[in-house]
A and B are shown apart, each in its own frame.
Chain A
Amino acid sequence: MKSAVIVFPASNCDRDAATALEQITGNKTAMVWHQDSELPDVDLVVLPGGFSYGDYLRCGAMANQSKIMGEIKAHAAKGGAVLGICNGFQVLTESGLLPGVLMRNAGLKFVCKPVALNVEETQSAFTRKYDKGQTITLPVAHGEGNYYADAATLDRLDGDGRVMFRYQNNPNGSARNIAGILNEKRNVLGLMPHPERVVDPLNGGTDGRGLFQSLIETLS
Chain B
Amino acid sequence: MKTVTPELVREHGLTEEEYGRVKKLLGRDANFVELGVFSVMWSEHCSYKSTRAHLKKLPTKAPWVIQGPGENAGVIDIGDGDACIFKMESHNHPSFIEPYQGAATGVGGIMRDVFTMGARPIAMMNALRFGEPSHPKTRHLVSGVVSGIGGYGNCMGVPTVGGEVNFHKSYNGNILVNAMCVGLARADKIFLSAAKGAGNPVVYIGSKTGRDGIHGATMASAEFDDASEEKRPTVQVGDPFTEKLLLEACLELMATDAIIAIQDMGAAGLTSSSAEMADKGGSGIELDLDKVPQRETNMTAYEMLLSESQERMLAVLKPGREDQARKIFEKWELDFAVIGHTTDTSRFVIKHGGAVVADIPVTALSDEAPIYERPYTKRDAVTGTPSFDKTKPVLASLETILAAPDMASRRWVWEQYDNSVMNDTVQHPGGDAAVVRVHGSKKALAITTDVSPRYCRPDPFEGGKQAVAEAWRNLTAVGATPLAVTDNLNYGNPQKPEIMWEIVAGIDGIGAACRALDFPVIGGNCSLYNETNGEGILPTPAIGAVGLLKDVTKMATVAFKREGDVVILIGETKGHLGQSIYLREIETREEGAAPKVDLAVEKKNGDFVRGLIASGRVDTVHDASDGGVLVAVAEMAMAGKIGASIGQAGLPDAIPFWFGEDQARYLIAAPFAEAEKILSEALASNIFVARLGKTGGDALVLDDKDRVAVAKLGAAHEGWFPRFMAGEEIPAKN
Contacts and interface: CB of A to CB of B under 8 A. Distances in A.
To the question of whether A and B form a pair in one complex, the answer is yes
B154 interface: yes
A204 B154 contact: no
Contacts of B154: 51, 110, 112, 141, 143
A197 B240 contact: no
A53 interface: yes
Interface stretch (B173-181, B416-424, B448-456): B416-424
B91 interface: no
B674 interface: no
Nearest to B440: A19
Nearest to B552: A202
Contact of A51 (B155, B416, B417, B419): B155
B415 A51 contact: no
Contacts of A55: 155, 241
A114 to B, nearest CB: 9
Contacts of B242: 54
B428 A15 contact: no
B263 interface: no
A13 B503 CA distance: 43
Nearest to A16: B423
A202 B426 contact: yes
A109 interface: yes
Contact of A109 (B147, B422, B423): B147
A16 B414 CA distance: 21
B609 interface: no
Interface in A7-23: 9-10, 12-13, 15-16, 19-20
Nearest to A114: B420
A53 B239 CA distance: 11
Nearest to B437: A202
Given A9-B332, A51-B155, A112 B420 contact: yes
Contacts of A56: 241
Interface in A48-66: 49-51, 53-56
B411 to A, nearest CB: 8
Given A12-B157, A202-B437, A112 B417 contact: yes
Interface string A128-162: 00000000000101010000000000000000000
B245 interface: yes
B245 A112 contact: no
A20 B424 CA distance: 12
B240 A54 contact: yes
B621 interface: no
Given A197-B420, A202-B552, A203-B425, A50 B157 contact: yes
A13 B437 CA distance: 16
Nearest to B239: A54
A203 B436 CA distance: 10
A175 interface: no
B150 interface: yes
B421 A10 contact: no
A111 B415 contact: yes
Interface in B160-205: none
A37 to B, nearest CB: 15
Given A10-B244, A53-B241, A54-B240, A203 B421 contact: no
A220 B292 CA distance: 53
A139 B428 CA distance: 12
Given A12-B244, A51-B240, A113 B552 contact: no
Contacts of B29: none
B333 interface: yes
A13 B416 contact: no
Where chain A touches its partner, the secondary structure class is mixed
Nearest to B424: A203
Contacts of A19: 423
A19 B423 CA distance: 9
Given A56-B241, A197-B423, A202-B426, A12 B156 contact: yes
Contacts of B415: 109, 111-113
B200 to A, nearest CB: 30
A196 interface: yes
A139 B420 contact: yes
Contacts of A217: none
A141 B415 CA distance: 9
Interface in A188-213: 194, 196-197, 200, 202-204
Nearest to A194: B420
A51 B423 contact: no
A197 B424 CA distance: 9
B416 A109 contact: yes
Contact of A20 (B332, B333, B423, B437): B423
A200 B244 CA distance: 26
Contact of A10 (B245, B428, B437): B245
B426 A203 contact: yes
Given A50-B157, A110-B147, A110-B150, A10 B241 contact: yes
A109 B149 CA distance: 12
Nearest to B417: A112
Contact of B333 (A9, A143, A200, A204): A9
Contacts of B245: 9-10
Contacts of B240: 10, 51, 54
A167 B723 CA distance: 24
Nearest to B146: A109
A146 to B, nearest CB: 16
Given A12-B157, A51-B154, A53-B241, A112 B418 contact: yes
A16 B158 CA distance: 12
A118 to B, nearest CB: 21
Given A10-B241, A202-B426, A141 B416 contact: no
Contacts of A9: 241, 244-245, 332-333
B416 A112 contact: yes
Contacts of B147: 109-110
Interface in B367-394: none
A94 B100 CA distance: 29
Contacts of B417: 110, 112
A49 B416 CA distance: 16
Nearest to A33: B331
Tell which of B418, B419, B425 has the most Cβ of chain A within 10 Å: B418
A10 B158 CA distance: 12
A87 to B, nearest CB: 10
Tell which of B332, B417, B420, B424 has the most Cβ of chain A within 10 Å: B420
Interface string B36-48: 0000000000000
Nearest to B426: A202
A218 to B, nearest CB: 24
Interface in A115-132: none
Tell which of B332, B417, B428 has the most Cβ of chain A within 10 Å: B428
Nearest to B425: A203
A204 B428 contact: yes
Contacts of A109: 147, 415-416
Tell which of B244, B245, B426 has the most Cβ of chain A within 10 Å: B244
A214 to B, nearest CB: 20
Nearest to A199: B423
Contacts of A194: 420
A113 B429 CA distance: 11
Given A19-B423, A109-B416, A141-B418, A51 B437 contact: no
Contacts of A50: 157
Given A9-B241, A10-B245, A54-B155, 19 more contacts: A12-B155, A12-B157, A13-B157, A15-B422, A19-B423, A20-B423, A50-B157, A55-B155, A110-B416, A110-B417, A112-B414, A112-B416, A141-B154, A141-B421, A143-B154, A197-B421, A202-B552, A204-B420, A204-B428
28 contacts: A9-B241, A10-B157, A10-B245, A12-B155, A12-B244, A13-B157, A13-B421, A20-B423, A50-B157, A51-B154, A51-B157, A51-B240, A51-B241, A55-B155, A55-B241, A56-B241, A110-B151, A110-B154, A112-B417, A112-B418, A141-B154, A141-B421, A197-B420, A200-B423, A203-B420, A203-B423, A203-B424, A204-B428
| Top 5 closest pairs, chain A to chain B, by CB | A12-B157, A54-B241, A51-B155, A141-B418, A10-B244
